[in-house]
Amino acid sequence: MGTTMRFGTAAYVYTALSLVLLLHATTADIPYRPNLVILLGDDVGFADFHSFGAPFQELNEIDRMAREGMMLKNFYTADSVCTPSRAALMTGRLPLRLGFHTATNRYYEAYSTGGLPREEVTIAEVLRDVGYATGMFGKWHLGMNRERNDDGYHFPQHHGFDDVGWLIPLTNSIACDETKLHVNAGPDPNSCFLYRNETIA
């Protein structure tokens, strides 16, 4: 039995070495590309997650990602409001340089016609150009339409994202509270809607 195990181990090591050499030979010109997941949350503080020092919070999937990946604890946002902070993260530019600096142009409403300019280079476009598959899910808040109320001119698929899932185009508004604690009439259908790609769901 000992001889068989040694032979088995030697064969396993040889096979593993062959695979490593084969992989190295076939991927020598392709740099290592780690998976990148960037989460940007509104109204989130350091005490909202167990992994960031809140021992009384329940462990969740974000804590698991932090445990299994890389956790960055020093991060500065470019603005305290949704749209400019997202624009800065997407482009690496100050919101002022993107036009998000006035009281009327700091965030978008359902009727707004502005958005992240298409000529701006986004992190998604840079990553896609070097071989990444890119996706965006959740809150966008960088503009919706330009000419019509359904043209989707400013949506993520026009800024380097290959796959766009469920999309919250606007902000987390109390007008969308289904519990009726804040607004007796319930959610306002003019402000509270979701998109799936470019279609209102």
Residues 66 and 130: their CA atoms lie apart, in Å, by 25
Residue type for position 85: S
Residue type for position 68: E
Sign of CA dihedral 42, 46, 52, 53: negative
Phi/psi at 175 (nearest 5 deg)? -65, -15
Sign of CA dihedral 173, 42, 85, 101: positive
Residues 90 and 144: their CA atoms lie apart, in Å, by 16
Distances (CA, A) of 89 to 75, 79, 121: 11, 10, 11
Q: Which residues are catalytic?
A: 82, 141
| Run of H or E including 164 | strand 163-168
